[in-house]
Homo-oligomer: A and B are copies of this chain.
């Protein structure tokens, strides 16, 4: 079993989603949204770092996957998003976990089968894939999607390498 923490970072809300990858199956563990307080940037980044560090402590994932955003909005928005992303990635690496990055297009392709899928299509597909009673909140759904994308990618790599399993960052 590989437990994966997926993160969809944002300067207002950061989604998280945790799944277990067992053979070719992916099982839901937890998901949610870290809502950032208004106010000064350092305090906001601290909330991201601390919440993700707590999630790692509580759920003990062995891998982290994060969406690698690229969009043509203004540099100021990109800077804000980068800061949130930096805080989230640092929480993963300081916990000693490998952090993988996937483009939004790759994530949508892996989950919906269409790199240009809309937000609600991702939510609906996540609900079906993980057998949830309702579609998860948008940011949580994106975080679960990147975790599933990573699960697929890893399962594929393990199959190619012919290894039997995986323990805390090492093939065995």
Residues of chain A touching chain B, judged by Cβ–Cβ distance below 8 Å, are: 40-43, 45-46, 49-50, 69-87, 89-94, 98-99, 101
B78 touches A69 (CB 8 A): no
CB-CB < 8 A to A85: which residues of B? 79, 82-83, 86
Chain multiplicity (copies): 2
The interface residues of chain A, by DSSP majority, are classed as helix
CB-CB < 8 A to A92: which residues of B? 42
Closest to A70 in B: B76
A73 CA to B93 CA in the complex, in Å? 28
Task: Report the minimum CB–CB distance from A79 to chain B (whole Å).
Answer: 4
A-B CB proximity, top 7 nearest: A82-B82, A86-B86, A75-B78, A83-B86, A42-B99, A78-B78, A46-B93
A99 CA to B49 CA in the complex, in Å? 15
Of A41, A72, A80, the most chain B CB neighbours within 10 A belong to: A41
Closest to A85 in B: B83
